[in-house]
Amino acid sequence: MWTRDQQAARAAKELQDGFYVNLGIGMPTLVANFIPEGVDVTLQSENGMLGMGPFPFAGEEDPDLINAGKQTITELDRTSYFSSADSFAMIRGGHIDLSILGAMEVADNGDIANWMIPGKMVKGMGGAMDLVAGVKKIIVLMEHNAKDGSAKFKTACTLPLTGKGVVDMVISELAVLARPAKGAPFRLIELAPGIDLDMLKARTEGHFEA
Amino acid sequence: MWTRDQQAARAAKELQDGFYVNLGIGMPTLVANFIPEGVDVTLQSENGMLGMGPFPFAGEEDPDLINAGKQTITELDRTSYFSSADSFAMIRGGHIDLSILGAMEVADNGDIANWMIPGKMVKGMGGAMDLVAGVKKIIVLMEHNAKDGSAKFKTACTLPLTGKGVVDMVISELAVLARPAKGAPFRLIELAPGIDLDMLKARTEGHFEA
Amino acid sequence: MANKLYPDAKAALEGLLFDGMTIMSGGFGLCGIPEKLIAALRDAGVKGLTVISNNAGVDGFGLGQLLETRQIAKMISSYVGENKEFERQYLAGELQLEFNPQGTLAERIRAGGAGIPGFYTKTGVGTLVAEGKEHKDFATASGTETYILETGLIADVSIVKAWKADPYGNLIFRKTSRNFNPMMATAGKVTVVEVEELVPAGTFDPDHIHTPGVFVQRLFVGRDYEKRIEQRTVRQREPA
Amino acid sequence: MANKLYPDAKAALEGLLFDGMTIMSGGFGLCGIPEKLIAALRDAGVKGLTVISNNAGVDGFGLGQLLETRQIAKMISSYVGENKEFERQYLAGELQLEFNPQGTLAERIRAGGAGIPGFYTKTGVGTLVAEGKEHKDFATASGTETYILETGLIADVSIVKAWKADPYGNLIFRKTSRNFNPMMATAGKVTVVEVEELVPAGTFDPDHIHTPGVFVQRLFVGRDYEKRIEQRTVRQREPA
């Protein structure tokens, strides 16, 4: 079984040199800590920045310089700023290579639900629907099971969708499931140490090819 | 009867302080020479410039600085540059107060034809269709009659249209015809010196209120 | 030159406000929000507002101030997570809420300002966002895909925060405080702008101007910006 | 960093060209055209091109060079007035021509790059341009108005001229040579850019960048720009 850091490091292996990448809030932000040696990626922040740098040193925070999680950040020698319309034109137009997002549920047809639970206060989808619809490749980083033990990789999402048929890869603490193209079935790509196929199947609802 | 310069000067009286104005190629460019004292207007050039200055002095021409007529021009202390998409967003979004254009025909319902003659080589409409559709007020500066003597202000355009029902005012060497709103009929606003109503009617085909 | 300069937020909003109006308010989170104009809207007491803004401020700051005074009837936003008073009013049915995907919201505002009444997008297809909207298939490089129609948005007044302006209303934004401000400047029937600094005409390189003055009707310099930070994240210096 | 730098136009186009492809070419008139890339297309001899460009160059310069060699099968433009060879080929039926209103052309390219397959515009309603296009009514501030559907455009390769670039492909344009170049940079499956000057990484103020590097796949520095002027208009100095 992978720790959260190991899960993020596994996701970081999907980064390719020259990729433009958008990382979602939460566990996906950890991926930035594990970018492989010799792989140069440029991080996009959908509030209007390409080339996101690390957090600032204490005392050097700039309120005019935040990421989409509203965290203070810094710029790099490659950074450019632009409006929200230009930022989502970049996303919607398919110019971002990869987005790594969290999810509450993923279905084996690639549907993803990560923005609302009916009956609870809904905070809004932010940029998640735009990202899953527009970015070339979508990787979901999530825990394999919900707190009640139910599988999060399902035959069908029960929660309202964020996007239909959009997920390319799921990385949980147990395994990597992926498919070569939208519309294709998911396959088991890799098992975490100490996990075997039966264990994985017992904790999974959605279909995948072994 | 007005000379071409007088016609342009008459059009310049329609300029109001603070107006953003797009001037078409040909006679409309003369209007810039007659901007009234105390009236400050900003000229837009649809190839991506707001705040167009006069022609440069000889030897100071800059090939990167031209207007929509491809003439060398200069910038002012108010100038900004932008892309063609942003320029026509400005035009299409109704942010330009006034456009002064030439025309081959104008109909008394406000239709305008100024881009093609069937059977002749067609050079294209350039930005004319966008201007007549997007700018708040459209003034046509034209000769009252064609070379064959036929009226250019007609009951209906015979040439392919540039825009439907878009013209607000026509200024010829004989008279000013205008209407208070799109859809309203044209009225005679002013006669050039030496022209009376009968003379005007004799040389006009389209309907106007006297 | 037609004068665009006003002494302060109150003067800049004079004569523009009416109950039930629609206001666009720039900013992302608390970054790049028109602090002074929001406070002036609160002081003016105008009611029944529809506010188009990516977020809804926090309790007691930004648009949170207009929620406390119950001046907002409806929000059009993409994310409203940081505001307890918002949550209370919404759950009590006192506040209408229309969620838009953030990119759809940005594009709707850009379209409104650009005279485009509608456009098609893949964002939200197959989700709640698509319900009741026209669907249309387009041929793409990867085959036929389904898109939904989204409409342009305009406002009676847009309130915008820029970094610097010149007297013609040309604007320059700073870093990620640009966000929704430039599009909103284009989509207000009247656009009112607050800036940190007014520079003399001709100071800006014309290639550096983000918003041309044609979009700005009124302008003033704000003083003592608070610029609150929502998530102060820092890293440690390496020990020497 | 993935290398985007190429030694010259020929190298920058290597492996990208095929007969029958669609190319977007920046510029307005002869201002801001990718001189070196157009010449390299001519030398490469690729045929049956569909070229999307506001204008078609002049005899012997700009896209006029590709007309002389009969490499262009179809032009999508707004105005083509300055080219006798163009006129000859068109009247002889050797060249297809699709006229777009200039603003519609600019917006179609912007839409293509932004993942918008279609949008509605008032431009051209009631004219030849509207024939065969979907019409739709939208409610506006001044009542219901009719609009037509226009579609997004993309290209196999976009050729773009910028003033300066850094090694990441961030671009800055100069004055009115910006024109169609920034949108075309977003709408090419591959975008190849020629610049007058390459500056070291970090030289640009990130608030001044017009085209972020994500849109630029290949880049080179052109030498000895001709930058022909079509209409050399000047004024007289007042006598001293």
Interface of D with B in 46-105 (CB under 8 A): 54, 77-81, 87, 90-91, 99, 101-104
Contact yes or no, B with D (3+ CB pairs under 8 Å) = yes
Q: Kindly report the pTM of this predicted structure.
A: 0.98
- Under 8 Å between Cβ of D196 and D221: yes
Distance to chain B for C115, nearest Cα, Å = 4
- Helix, strand, coil percent content, chain B, rounded in steps of 5: 20, 25, 55
Contact C80 A123 (CB under 8 A): yes
State the SS3 of chain C.
Answer: CCCCECCCHHHHHCCCCCCCCEEEECCECCECCCHHHHHHHHHHCCCCEEEECCCCCECCECCHHHHHCCCEEEEEECCCCCCHHHHHHHHCCCCEEEECCHHHHHHHHHHHHCCCCEEEECCCCCCHHHCCCCEEEEEECCEEEEEEEEECCCEEEEEEEEEEECCCCCEECCHHHCCCHHHHHHHEEEEEEEEEEECCCCCCCCCCCCECHHHCCEEEECCCCCCCCCECCCECCCCC
CA dihedral B181, B182, B188, B193 (to 10 degrees): 100
Instruction: With an 8 Å CB cutoff and a minimum of 3 pairs, decide whether chains B and A touch.
Output: no
Nearest in space to D27 (alpha carbons), one of D234, D173, D188, D217: D173
Q: Select from C118, C147, C208 the Cβ nearest to the Cβ of D138.
A: C118
Amino acid at B139: I
pLDDT of residue C240: 60
Select from A81, B41, A95, A79 the least CA-distant residue to C208: A81
Active site residue B46: yes
Model pLDDT, residue B120: 85
Tokens 């179609």 belong to D108
> Are D206 and A79 inside 8 Å of each other by CB?
yes
Q: Taking Cα atoms as reference points, which of A119, A117, A138 lies closest to residue A24?
A: A138
- pLDDT-based confidence at residue C123 (cuts at 50, 70, 90): very high
Q: Is the confidence at residue C239, as pLDDT, over 80?
A: no
| Exposure on the CB side of residue D85, measured as CA atoms within 13 A | 17
Band the pLDDT of D10: cuts 50, 70, 90. Answer: very high
Tokens 């990867």 found at: C142
Q: Dump pLDDT digits (tens) for D24-51.
A: 999 999 999 999 999 999 999 999 999 9
The C-alpha angle with vertex B20 and arms to B15 and B21, in degrees rounded to 5, equals: 65
pLDDT at D1 over 70: no
What local confidence, expressed as pLDDT, does residue D154 receive? Answer: 98
**How far apart (Å, rounded) are the C-alpha atoms in residues C186 and C212?**
10
Tell me: the pLDDT tens digits for C124-181? Answer: 999 999 999 999 999 987 789 999 999 999 999 999 999 999 999 999 999 999 999 9
ipTM over 0.95: yes
Tell me how close the Cα of A15 comes to any Cα of chain D, in angstroms: 13
Element (H, E) at B113: strand B112-113
Q: Which pLDDT score is estimated for C168?
A: 98
CA nearest to A92 within chain D: D115
Look over chain C and give the mean of its residue pLDDT values, rounded to a whole number.
96
Cβ–Cβ contact C209 with A under 8 A: no
Q: Give the three-state DSSP class for A175.
A: strand
Touch of C by A (3+ CB pairs closer than 8 Å): yes
pLDDT tens digits, D186-203: 999 999 999 999 999 999
CA distance C32 to chain D (A): 14
B-interface mutation test, from D121, D175, D226, most B Cβ less than 10 A away? D175
Taking chain B (210 residues) in consecutive chunks of 10 residues, what is each chunk's mean pLDDT? 97 97 93 94 98 96 97 98 98 98 98 92 94 98 97 98 98 98 96 97 97
Please name the residue ranges forming H helices in A76-166: 84-92, 128-134
User: Which of the 8 DSSP states describes residue B144?
Assistant: S
Encoded tokens for C153: 């948005």
Amino acid B41: pLDDT: 97
Per-residue pLDDT tens for D128-179? 999 999 999 999 877 899 999 999 999 999 999 999 999 999 999 999 999 9
CA angle D200, D32, D73 (to 5 degrees): 120
Q: What percent of chain A has pLDDT over 70?
A: 100
Of A100, B136, D141, D115, the closest CA to residue C106 belongs to D115
Do B161 and D109 lie within an 8 Å CB cutoff?
no
Residue type, C114: A
Query: C1 pLDDT exceeds 70?
Result: no
C-alpha distance across the termini of chain D, in Å: 58
Q: Give the residue on A whose Cα is nearest the Cα of D2.
A: A18
Find chain B residues with C-beta within 8 A of D79's C-beta: 123-126
Q: Which chains touch B (3 or more CB pairs under 8 A)?
A: C, D
Closest Cβ opposite residue C174 in set D147, D189, D207? D207
Neighbours of B207 (CB within 10 A): 13
What's the pLDDT score for residue D237?
Answer: 83
Nearest to D2 among A40, A77, A79 (CB): A40
* Closest C-alpha to D226, from D33, D58, D26: D33
pLDDT tens for each residue of C174-196: 999 999 999 999 999 999 999 99
| CA B168/CA B108 separation, integer angstroms | 10
DSSP code of A49?
E
Average pLDDT over residues A83-96: 98
Please report the sign of the dihedral spanned by the C-alpha atoms of residue B29, residue B68, residue B109, residue C117.
negative
Mean pLDDT of the D204-208 span: 98
Contact residues on chain A for C181, CB-CB shorter than 8 A: 83
3-state secondary structure of D148: strand
**Residue B182 burial by Cβ neighbours in a 10 Å radius (0-12, 13-18, 19+):** middle
Q: Any residues with CB less than 8 A from the CB of C89 and at least 6 apart, and which?
A: C67, C70, C95
From residue B166, give the alpha-carbon distance in Å to each of A6, A20, B169, B205.
65, 46, 10, 19
Q: Which two tokens stand for residue C148?
A: 């939904």
Give the residue-averaged pLDDT of A183-210.
97
Q: How far is CA B30 from CA A189, B7, B98, B135, B141, in A?
A: 72, 9, 15, 20, 10
Residue range D88-126, pLDDT digits in tens: 898 899 999 999 999 999 999 999 999 999 999 999 999
Q: What is the pLDDT of residue D240?
A: 59
Give percent of chain D above pLDDT 90. Answer: 90
Catalytic, out of B46, B60, B173, B190: B46
Please give the residue of chain D at the shortest CA–CA distance from B64: D177
